[in-house]
Amino acid sequence: MTAVLERVPLDAITEQARQVRFWRTVLTVVAGVLFGAGWLVAKAFGIGWLAAAWCAVAVREGWREGRGMTVQHGPSRPG
């Protein structure tokens, strides 16, 4: 076990650890968390909007079918 510990560059690790700026690291982590939360909320609203629009169109089609209205799907004006 001693041979393994002797091969570890402790001085280089200590020097690199001293160069890390604590508050900058904390702010970077906080910014990353907030960015991720915003991204997830945007995706959730996008999926929610699509689901709501799909449900509204399905209700409209069901209403038209129940009332006996025929609707021709496709381009409104040929040509």
pTM of the model: 0.54
User: Coil, helix or strand for 58?
Assistant: helix
Range of weakest confidence among 21-25, 60-64, 71-75: 71-75
Count other Cβ atoms within 10 Å, centred on residue 47: 10
pLDDT higher than 80, residue 25:
yes
State how far the Cα of 31 lies from the Cα of 73, in Å rounded to an integer.
Answer: 48
Report the pLDDT averaged over residues 49-66.
94
The domain limits of the chain are: 39-68
Q: Assess contact for 49 and 42: CB atoms under 8 A.
A: no
For position 49, what pLDDT does the model report? 95
- CB under 8 Å to 61, separation ≥6 — which residues? 71
